[in-house]
Structures are given as C-alpha cells and as structure tokens.
Amino acid sequence: MRKESGTARALTVSIVGAGNLGTALALTLPSAGCEVKFIATRTKSGNRRRARALARRVKARLVELGKQPLDTALVWITVPDDYIAQVARKLAGTQDWKGRIVLHSSGALTSDELAPLREKGARVASVHPMMTFVRGSVPEMAGVAFAVEGNPVATRAATEIVKRLGGHAFPIRKQNKVLYHAFGSFASPLVVALMASLEDVAQAAGVRKRDVKRVMLPLLLQTLRNYLYQDAASAFSGPLVRGDVATVRRHLEELKKVPEAREVYVALAKSALKNLPARNRKALRAELRRTAWIGSMKDSMEIVDDIISPANELKEWEAHRE
C-alpha cells in the first residue's frame, strides 16, 4: 500500500469464493483501503446468483474461476477447506504470479495448500479470522483476532490489512493450526450445538419451544459474564460443585429420554470433574463411569446387531430361494 503524491494508493484485491466469509471480506475490505476488483466463482456454483449480487454491490467484476486472469496485487481465497488446494492448482497456470500475494482463510490448513501458486512466484499465507460468519449477517472486524502464517511479505501485508480493519493479527505455527481451529470450534459452533441440546432437554421437560430462549437467557448471559470477568472456576456452579451425586444420578436417569443430550452431559461432566472445583469427585466419577459403561454396552450390542441382522436376512433369503 504505497503512498503516491501524498495520497494512499488502494490495494487491488480479488475474492475467490462468494460464501459467508468471502461476502464479509468483500464488504469490509474497502474500509481498509482495498479495492475489490474481481469476485471469482465456478460457473456451476450454487452461490452464483449471490456472487453476482455481491459483485454489483461492491462494483467488482464477476469472473469464472480459472478462465480469466485475476489482475490484482492480492488474491484472497475463501472457498471451503477441501477445495483450497484444488483452486490453487487451477489458478496456477492462468497468469503470471510473480510478486502477487495470495491468501487463504482456513483455520485448520496451512499456507502449504497454496504450494502450486508459491511455485509460480506468489507470496502465500494463511490468514484466519477468529469469528463466526453466517448467511445474512456481516460481523464487525474491529477487535477480531486473525491467526497468520506463511511468507514474510504476505504476512506483513495481511497484518497491515487486519490492522486497518480494526482487528489484530498474531503469528501461528503450522503445527498448531489444527488445535487452534478446534479451539475456535469450542468457542462457537460447539456452543451452538450445546444450545441445540439445551433446547431438546427443555422441550422434554415441558418447556414450549417459543419460551426456551426467554427462560434460559438470563442464566446464560450471567454465566458468560461470570466467566468473562472472573474465570472458569469462579463461574462454575450447580450439582457437581456441591457434590450432589443423587441429583446427577437423577439427571442421568431422566436424560435417557434425550439420549444424545445425555451423552453431551456425561462428556461435559467428566471434563468438569477434571478441570473445575467439585465435591465428592470419586463418587461422581463412579456414577459417570457406570453410565458410560452401560452406554458402551448398548453401543456394542447395536454394532453386533448391525452385523448379525444383514447376515440373518441373507440366510433367510437363501433358504427361501432354495
């Protein structure tokens, strides 16, 4: 981002992929002094219509991936993880890549996914925002942490963009990316999965679906406040802290009505007994082990049944044929 005649020269950017993250970047990068020139997608992409609308909105050209050169200083690939390497291979032979910067935003994969472009002279990096992106919502980038690794020139450029967006970049080692991404999963999608289990248990308890959020919201918000302004141990409450073995046993018995949620309860309770304050740990662990043993026996029987049933059906069919 050079300055010419006292004015900042906009960095030209191509966005490859018009999903939730690609859309958020296209809409927010102009505030960081970037000019989004191209939105690139596959011809048969399910997001084609959405990509066309996005291109119109940011005054960019919509182009077919791999068919036209992306004549910009920076190319930001925002396709799903499984397609990043494939996109890199497809782009590698389409133009001269020397001196260009190419980024991808996978949280779990490293900049090595862009090796075909690196071999053509591109400076590559992975730049992952620790933020959730869902359709119909464009989150603020201010305050968001971005994990960055790759070529020094590419990481410096990415760090500058992140700074202009109001976020903050930090280096991540390649070998740590998968666990870093799992950490992010605990902070957002698995929290939502927990909320889904919460809804199942609430409805099994007779709480109407439309009332679930109203009933649990004060509790959930206060729990988050306690955790954010104190720590996990200080925010932890309930029957495990008190060592109420009988209550936990009753929970587990009644949660048989919601078996998937019961598995979640057991897993989280085990983690709590390892990491958080609790009384009667030995008795509580024994109760959870008993539950886990019964569950594993049930799973084993189901697996055996899955194996035996088709075999029995085959025998019956052969006997009938004879």
Are the beta carbons of 25 and 76 closer than 8 angstroms?
A: yes
Residue 291: what pLDDT? 77
- Please determine, for residue 53, whether its predicted confidence score (pLDDT) is greater than 60: yes
Mean pLDDT of 208-234: 96
- Please determine, for residue 64, whether its predicted confidence score (pLDDT) is greater than 60: yes
Mean pLDDT of 28-36: 96
pTM of the model: 0.84
Residue 321: what pLDDT? 47
- Please determine, for residue 7, whether its predicted confidence score (pLDDT) is greater than 50: no
pLDDT band at 4 (very low <50, low <70, confident <90, very high): very low
Residue 319: what pLDDT? 53
- 34-41 and 61-64 strand pairing: parallel
Residue 245: what pLDDT? 96
- Please determine, for residue 3, whether its predicted confidence score (pLDDT) is greater than 80: no
Residue 200: what pLDDT? 97
pLDDT band at 322 (very low <50, low <70, confident <90, very high): very low
Over the chain, what HEC string results?
CCEECCEECCEEEEEECCCHHHHHHHHHHHHHCEEEEEEEECCCCCCHHHHHHHHHHHCCEEEECCCCCCCCCEEEECCCHHHHHHHHHHHHCCCCCCCCEEEECCCCCCHHHHHHHHCCCCEEEEEEECCCCCCCCCCCCCCCEEEEEECHHHHHHHHHHHHHHCCEEEECCHHHHHHHHHHHHHHCHHHHHHHHHHHHHHHHCCCCHHHHHHHHHHHHHHHHHHHHHCCHHHHCCCHHHHCCHHHHHHHHHHHHHCHHHHHHHHHHHHHHHHHCCCCCHHHHHHHHHHHHHHHHHHHHHHHHHHHHHHHHHHHHHHHHHC
Radius of gyration of the chain (CA): 26
- Please determine, for residue 48, whether its predicted confidence score (pLDDT) is greater than 90: no
- Please determine, for residue 57, whether its predicted confidence score (pLDDT) is greater than 80: yes
Mean pLDDT of 14-41: 95
Greater pLDDT, 322 or 254: 254
Q: What is the pLDDT of residues 195-204, one digit of tens each?
A: 999 999 999 9
Residue 282, number of CB atoms within 10 A of its CB: 10
Residue 307: what pLDDT? 58
pLDDT band at 49 (very low <50, low <70, confident <90, very high): confident
Residue 318: what pLDDT? 52
Going from N- to C-terminal start, the domains of the chain cover 9-176, 188-297
Which burial class, exposed, middle or buried, applies to 161 when counting CB atoms under 10 A from its CB (0-12, 13-18, 19+)? buried
pLDDT band at 292 (very low <50, low <70, confident <90, very high): low
Level-2 CATH architecture, domain 9-176? 3-Layer(aba) Sandwich (3.40)
pLDDT band at 301 (very low <50, low <70, confident <90, very high): low
Residue 313: what pLDDT? 54
Mean pLDDT of 305-317: 56
- Please determine, for residue 174, whether its predicted confidence score (pLDDT) is greater than 50: yes
- Please determine, for residue 208, whether its predicted confidence score (pLDDT) is greater than 90: yes
Residue 316: what pLDDT? 56
- Please determine, for residue 2, whether its predicted confidence score (pLDDT) is greater than 50: no
Residue 128: what pLDDT? 98
Average pLDDT along the chain? 90
